[in-house]
Amino acid sequence: MKYFILFGPPGAGKGTQATAMVENYHLCHLSTGELLRSEIAAGTQLGLQAKALIEAGSLVPDEVVEGMIESKFKTVKGVEGFLLDGFPRTIAQAQALDEMLGRSGEEVTSVVSIMIPDEMIMERIRHRATIEGRADDAKEEVVANRIRTYHDKTEPLVDFYRKAGKYNEIDGVGTIEEVRERIFTLMNKF
């Protein structure tokens, strides 16, 4: 099985590119953001716990997302691999992922990191807010907190995966098609 990690700041275009990636390489798309939003929509206990944190632009506890991911690994069949989108987001989650995969003799295949400049993050999220209506996109201070959380907790993963020789950066500035081509050129190597 292949395990690709789709990495990048909020608004980098991960969700947009994920659709084409899973189709082209027969992967299962696992977006922790989407999984959490459907728990909230279904009104589950987990959703109730996550709602306030997400709407404040904070992260939900590591154990919660780790559990969601591991249960998908166990139940999803008939794919050539997984595309992890929004996970791992902390060093602890990355270590938990290595352990989970290690238990079945698997490992992370590659990290595909879509990078855009900070000033573009706000611009793209402002635009998305007018289209998708996500609660965590609507307030500037929540978006600012997500960007801060990204820099503090998630960006250290760049070094973590660089040291593991798995980090690959893609320029996320350009049209959707241009960025997709760059990603496919990289993924074809694996």
Give the active site residues.
Answer: 14, 89, 128, 134, 146
Q: Is residue 157 part of the contact set for ligand ADP (CB under 6 A)?
A: no
Q: Please say whether the dihedral angle defined by the alpha carbons of residues 145, 63, 68 and 74, taken in this order, is positive or negative.
A: positive
Cβ atoms 88, 145 nearer than 8 A: no
The binder of ligand ADP chosen from 27, 65, 97, 112 (CB under 6 A):
65
User: If you search the block for the tokens 């980098």, which residue do you land on?
Assistant: 12
Site string for ligand ADP, 126-155 (x = CB under 6 A): ----------x---------x---------
Q: Is residue 33 part of the contact set for ligand ADP (CB under 6 A)?
A: yes
Cis-peptide, bond into residue 88, ω within 30° of zero: yes
CB closer to ligand ADP, 10 vs 185: 10
Q: Is residue 54 part of the contact set for ligand ADP (CB under 6 A)?
A: yes
With H, G, I as helix, E, B as strand and everything else as coil, classify residue 139: coil
Helix, strand, coil % over all residues of the chain, rounded to 5:
60, 15, 25
Beta-ladder partners of 82: 3, 28
CB closer to ligand ADP, 60 vs 83: 60
Q: Is residue 53 part of the contact set for ligand ADP (CB under 6 A)?
A: yes
> Where on the chain is the footprint of ligand ADP (CB under 6 A)?
10, 32-33, 36, 53-54, 57-60, 65, 86-87, 89, 93, 136, 146
